Amino acid sequence: MSEEYSVEIVNPEKSFLSKNDVTEVVVPAFEGEIGILKDHISIISFLKPGIIKIFSKSGEESFYVNDGIIEFKDNNLSILTSLILNLKDIDKEKISEIQKSAEEELNKSDINDQEKYLLDQKLEVLKSIN
Amino acid sequence: MASLDDLKKRISSVKSTQKITKAMKMVAAAKLRRAQESAEKGRPYSDKMNNIILNLSNGISDIDNAPKLLSGTGEDKVHLCVVMTSDRGLCGGFNTNIIKKAKLYFQKILDEGKTLKIITVGTKGYDQLKRLYGDNIIERISFKESKNINYFDADKVGKIVIEKFEKKEFDVCAIFYNQFKNVITQIPQEQQIIPLKISEKDENSSEDNYEFEPEEDEILSNLLPKNISTQIFKAMLENSASEQGSRMSAMDNATRNAGEMVDKLTIEYNRSRQAAITKELIEIISGAESL
């Protein structure tokens, strides 16, 4: 039996990526990374800023996501995100830009703990990319 | 009767107006195609978002503790209306239709003795509403500078709405926009986004058992604000497609009317020219006869 399933990544502007020969996807879920294989139980979870890794027959791809929500059902994985960047052709300047705005946000006084946690995560990931 | 010279001038001026409207129609047609495309591309996101929220809200066991964005504040006193219009004119009844729909709603709210707050998106809406409802407008937003509709603009509007909701400034929020049906028809829409009205689900999604991580409530409270931005984004996309469609048909009509006017004026011009010639001939003939 094949070990492949399909994944679709959509952002508000368009369908970003659609693949149906995926063997494993690792997503940065809110409570830690989740690796999803075929026949995983139906799950809904949301993402923190981090790296999505997609393993397929044709190789491995990595994407940076800002936030998002995933839904896995009947061997279909949907990832909804507002900002996604392919690490292969990433723009250093763009990363620095996001990093800077995140830092500014972090310095504001009126953020709550969860926001702070997410921003810290974001900065960490961005730094590791840069 | 207007002199020949006047007629000539009028014909040429109508002709140049026709050129402008024709060009505007062409531009609108090109933009419409792009706007339609992006409206279509944006659909999967909002559909999926809707689906997930549906599944989540089914899974919520404790209705009383459901997030306020879903269940509402329990009151119905202050209504916030987000009226989305265009930044540019010359697009037929596009803005007027939205405003008309919105005004009906406003009147109903005020008649019931509730408080009305308005946020206008787009300058044209503000212009039309400021005279009657100037005191009710609490915020005006315009994205004149951004070339394309993008999610971050919608997100800005969404954040403003949510911020106001969290400050308990309103109980119910509705958005007004034009839904794009085709080039000729755009339907003004009124959509309530807070508290969220969940449409009846289709039967095939009823028996899903999801694992949630973290808990449903937590996911929902994170997801609902995003959904508001998504709904606003969707409305903006629909609106921009409608705007271009409406402009296209308005300009098409204008071009046709200008054509008709040129024809009419040309006939009048020819007639009066002929009349002048005939008059001259009569003068010559009667002059010759009297000799």
Q: Model confidence over B244-279: pLDDT tens digits?
A: 999 999 999 999 999 999 999 999 999 999 999 999
Partners of A42 on chain B (C-beta within 8 Å) are 208-211
Residues of chain A with CATH 2.60.15.10: 5-86
Is pLDDT above 70 for B92?
Answer: yes
So what's the ipTM on this one?
A: 0.78
- Give the active site residues of B: 91
**Both structure tokens of A5:** 């399933």
B208 touches chain A (CB under 8 A): yes
Q: Do A71 and B52 touch (CB under 8 A)?
A: yes
Residue B208: per-residue pLDDT: 60
Q: What is the pLDDT of residues B5-64, one digit of tens each?
A: 999 999 999 999 999 999 999 999 999 999 988 888 888 888 888 888 877 777 666 666
Is pLDDT above 60 for B205?
Answer: no
Global pTM value: 0.85
Residue A26: per-residue pLDDT: 92
Chain A interface disruption, residue of B48, B147, B157, B227, most A CBs within 10 A? B48
| Residue B58 vs residue B167, higher pLDDT | B167
**Nearest beta carbon to residue B48 from set A10, A13, A30:** A10
Residue A97: per-residue pLDDT: 80
Pick from A60, A62, A65, A22: nearest CA to A45:
A65
Round the average pLDDT of chain B to a whole number and report it.
Answer: 87
Residue A42 and residue B209 in contact, taking contact as beta carbons nearer than 8 Å: yes
Residue B122 and residue B98 in contact, taking contact as beta carbons nearer than 8 Å: no
**Which region among A8-22, B29-43, B67-81, B198-212 has the lowest average model confidence (pLDDT)?**
B198-212
Mean pLDDT value across residues A79-95: 81
Residue B142: per-residue pLDDT: 87
Residue B203: per-residue pLDDT: 47
Residue B56 and residue B220 in contact, taking contact as beta carbons nearer than 8 Å: yes
Give the phi and the psi of residue A16 in degrees, each rounded to 5: -80, -45
Residue B199: per-residue pLDDT: 60
A1 touches chain B (CB under 8 A): no
Burial (CB < 10 A; 0-12, 13-18, 19+), residue B73, is middle
Residue B141 and residue B157 in contact, taking contact as beta carbons nearer than 8 Å: yes
A30 touches chain B (CB under 8 A): yes
How many H-runs (helices) and E-runs (strands) does chain B carry?
A: 6, 6
Pick from B133, B143, B35, B36: nearest CA to B80:
B133
Is pLDDT above 70 for B202?
Answer: no
Which chain A residue's Cα is nearest to B237?
A13
Q: Do B151 and A12 touch (CB under 8 A)?
A: yes
Partners of A82 on chain B (C-beta within 8 Å) are 151, 155, 226
What domains can you pick out in chain B, each with its CATH number?
Answer: 4-21+251-286 (no CATH), 29-200+209-250 (3.40.1380.10)
As a whole-number percent, the residues of chain B with pLDDT over 70 amount to: 93
Query: Can you tell me the distance from the alpha carbon of B41 to that of B23, in angstroms, rounded to the nearest whole number?
Result: 28
Burial (CB < 10 A; 0-12, 13-18, 19+), residue B118, is buried
Q: What is the pLDDT of residues A98-120, one digit of tens each?
A: 878 888 877 777 777 777 777 88
Q: What is the pLDDT of residues A7-60, one digit of tens each?
A: 999 888 888 888 888 999 999 888 888 899 988 888 888 888 888 999 988 888
Query: Can you tell me the distance from the alpha carbon of A130 to that of A94, in angstroms, rounded to the nearest whole number?
Result: 10
Pick the CATH number of A5-86 from 3.40.50.2000, 1.10.1070.11, 2.40.50.140, 2.60.15.10: 2.60.15.10
Within 8 A by CB and 6+ apart from A62, the residues are: A51, A52, A53, A54, A86, A87, A88
Residue A42: per-residue pLDDT: 86
